[in-house]
Amino acid sequence: VSRRSEPDLPAIESPLTPALTVEDLEAAARERLPAMVFDYYAGGSGEEWTLRENRRAYERWVIRPRVLVDVSNVDLRATVLGEELPFPILLAPTAFQRMAHRYGEVATAGGAAALDAVMVVSTIATATLEEIAATGVRRWFQLYVLKDRDLTATLVKRAHAAGYGAVVLTVDTPLLGRRLRDERNKFSLPPGIGLANLEGSGLPESEGSGLSSFFQDRHDASLTWDDVSWLRSLSPLPLVLKGILTAEDARLAVDIGAGAIVVSNHGGRQLDGAPATLDVLPEIVEAAGGRTEVLVDGGIRRGSDVFKALALGARAVLVGRPYLWGLAVNGAEGVQQVLEILRDDLIHTMALAGRARVADIDRSAVAAAPRAPERGDDR
């Protein structure tokens, strides 16, 4: 494994220094991963404005703590698509996990299964759907609809046969966002790692990003709302639409009978200039009107972030990069560790905020943060 050597980076974390935060694990992962891989995982599209905005949005809210509430038992259980989860945090689909760890998605599944969390498996995973299923993890399948519709149908049928509990259609990626880091690095898959569920092949040769070329060649940019009924005919699984950012599209998702939507801008990797997900969450929750479940992802790094998302109406959240850092640093155990950090931090936040159950985290639990004074405000 080639190491990134930049003089201003901290030395590799000693195993005696426990990681306390997601950022601790990110720093350790950055030390460990080749620059091309770190950039692919960490990066966003364009000037990465949306990527940064996802984080900044969490700073625009404060938590309103209630006191003298019995918080001796904090209960994190939540129900999503009719399934009870031990805590309201799922693993978002991320591609190419064997670049982070030799067991890739199978290791991630092990970490998620240890805590009974739901893992959403990407269409472009580097382990097969069946290998991942064999770990026993609770699992949903994320779908990219390919120009080859027969292959797409086969994927959905395989997922159903292998015990996946939902199909998560990603709707924000007709083509890939412009990831400048990947173009500059000429992103490609390291030898021996391939798209395990799509003929096991690698990415096409490319002048720039091989992943961008893959989407150009294989992904169906003509997909519309009219294709959803075809998709639903392929399996009885509930359909989740991932990548909704407007009330208009949330209403269409309700109309087509989506079981859930994920308010997502793909972690700032697709349309740069799209809003932070937390900022649009309230309007989408309102548009959904309780007729479809609303989940959110993007920039969630600590328990207070999860708390704020729940207060603004999300039923649960998903995290992407955080568990990739855990995977890179320590495989299945690292993934488990990240989930524990987030879960325990959420428990802590709920206790200090006087909310002992997820249902108690209502809109009154947060308020807009006071605006920082700007120059001229005192005149």
Q: Known catalytic residues?
A: 266
State the Cα–Cα distance between residues 121 and 130, nearest whole angstrom: 11
Shortest reach from residue 221's CB to ligand LAC, in Å: 14
Select 299 or 313, whichever has its Cβ closest to ligand FNR.
299
Q: Which residues pair with 142 in a beta bridge?
A: 168
Residues 294 and 259: beta-carbon distance below 8 Å: no
Select 298 or 334, whichever has its Cβ closest to ligand FNR.
298
User: Is position 269 an interface residue for ligand LAC (rule: CB under 6 A)?
Assistant: yes
Shortest reach from residue 194's CB to ligand LAC, in Å: 14
Provide the residue type at 84 as one letter.
E
Q: Which of 45, 50, 108, 122 binds ligand FNR (CB under 6 A)?
A: 122
Q: Which of 45, 50, 94, 212 binds ligand FNR (CB under 6 A)?
A: 94
Q: Which residues neighbour 221 within 8 Å (Cβ) at sequence distance 6 or greater?
A: 174, 175
Shortest reach from residue 266's CB to ligand LAC, in Å: 6
What string marks each residue from 258 to 297 as x (binds ligand FNR by CB under 6 A) or -? ------x-xx-x---------------------------x
Q: If DSSP codes are grouped into helix, strand and coil, which group holds residue 222?
A: coil
Shortest reach from residue 370's CB to ligand FNR, in Å: 26
State the Cα–Cα distance between residues 150 and 138, nearest whole angstrom: 26
H or E segment and range at residue 306:
helix 303-311
State the Cα–Cα distance between residues 201 and 196, nearest whole angstrom: 7
User: Is position 298 an interface residue for ligand FNR (rule: CB under 6 A)?
Assistant: yes
Handedness of CA 263, 266, 271, 275 (dihedral sign): positive
Residues 273 and 47: beta-carbon distance below 8 Å: no
Shortest reach from residue 179's CB to ligand FNR, in Å: 10
Q: Which of 89, 91, 95, 253 binds ligand LAC (CB under 6 A)?
A: 95
Helix segments in 163-276, DSSP class H: 180-185, 210-218, 228-233, 247-255
Q: Which of 124, 231, 237, 294 binds ligand LAC (CB under 6 A)?
A: 124
User: Is position 343 an interface residue for ligand LAC (rule: CB under 6 A)?
Assistant: no
* Per-residue CA distances from 219 to 124, 145, 233, 307 (Å): 11, 6, 20, 36
Q: Characterize the bridge pairing of strands 83-85 and 78-80.
A: antiparallel
For the beta carbon of residue 133, count every other beta carbon within 10 angstroms. Answer: 19
Shortest reach from residue 279's CB to ligand LAC, in Å: 21
User: Is position 242 an interface residue for ligand FNR (rule: CB under 6 A)?
Assistant: yes
State the Cα–Cα distance between residues 272 and 278, nearest whole angstrom: 16
Choose the contact partner of 298 out of ligand LAC, ligand FNR, none; CB within 5 to 8 A by kind: ligand FNR
User: Is position 349 an interface residue for ligand FNR (rule: CB under 6 A)?
Assistant: no
- Can you state the angle between helices 321-353 and 22-32, rounded to 10 degrees? 170
Select 212 or 336, whichever has its Cβ closest to ligand LAC.
212
User: Is position 110 an interface residue for ligand FNR (rule: CB under 6 A)?
Assistant: no
Residue nearest to ligand LAC (CB): 95
Choose the contact partner of 235 out of ligand FNR, ligand LAC, none; CB within 5 to 8 A by kind: none
Task: By CB under 6 A, name the binding residues for ligand FNR.
Answer: 40-41, 54, 92-95, 122, 124, 142, 170, 242, 264, 266-267, 269, 297-300, 319-321
